[in-house]
Amino acid sequence: MDIHHDHPMTETPTTTEPRRGFFASLAALALAAFGLAVPALTAVAAYVNPLRRKSAAGRFIRVASLTALPSDGTPRKFPVIADRVDAWNRYPNEPIGAIFLCRTESDAVEAYHVVCPHAGCSIVFQQSDDGGKFVCPCHVASFDLQGKRLDKTSPSPRDMDTLEVEIRGKAEVWVRFENYITGITDKIAEA
């Protein structure tokens, strides 16, 4: 026996299907936006972090005592110790650079950066019978005891970089430490 229906079964559309699709799409869009926002905000925070952080560069740092310097004016190399901060870490009392200190006859102190203004190599002091000189071993630039270029055809574009010095308290030597851009004739502090 065949049963035929005169009226085919028809489905009545429900109004919940389009709404479920809309909310599912909205949830997926929100999750995607959140997924993209997290790395973007992390990148912005990493970029801005050095701008918010105060650096040791450009501020006075205690380097030595006046009694640690030879009274005859012979330069002596000292490390510059300060808190070093990189992207996310803080390292207390780390070497951030080095300088030469020279004591003058009037007990004033002169400070010279050990970084050669030519290409950033470390300058060394070579003592001799006539007092000595500063020498960059990378490209043979040489400087007198006042940091002036001995040879005007030297590859160094300028004299050694001097740093500001203060004598504080009980003969403590404080230096305003900064790094300078190498390879140019002007003495410009790095940002």
99 within a domain of the structure (yes/no): yes
Confidence category of residue 163, pLDDT binned at 50, 70, 90: very high
Rounded alpha-carbon distances, angstroms, from residue 109 to 30, 69, 117, 127, 142: 63, 9, 21, 19, 21
Tell me which residue range forms the domain holding 65.
Answer: 60-176
Q: What is the pLDDT of residue 78?
A: 96
pLDDT score of 14: 55
pLDDT by residue (tens digit) across 32-90? 777 776 676 666 555 555 444 444 557 899 999 999 999 889 999 999 999 877 777 88
Question: What's the confidence (pLDDT) of residue 184?
Answer: 93
CATH, residue 171? 2.102.10.10
In terms of domains, do 111 and 158 share one? Answer: yes
Is residue 184 in some structural domain? no
Domain total in the chain: 2
User: Same domain for 103 and 31?
Assistant: no
pLDDT tier at 19, thresholds 50, 70, 90? low
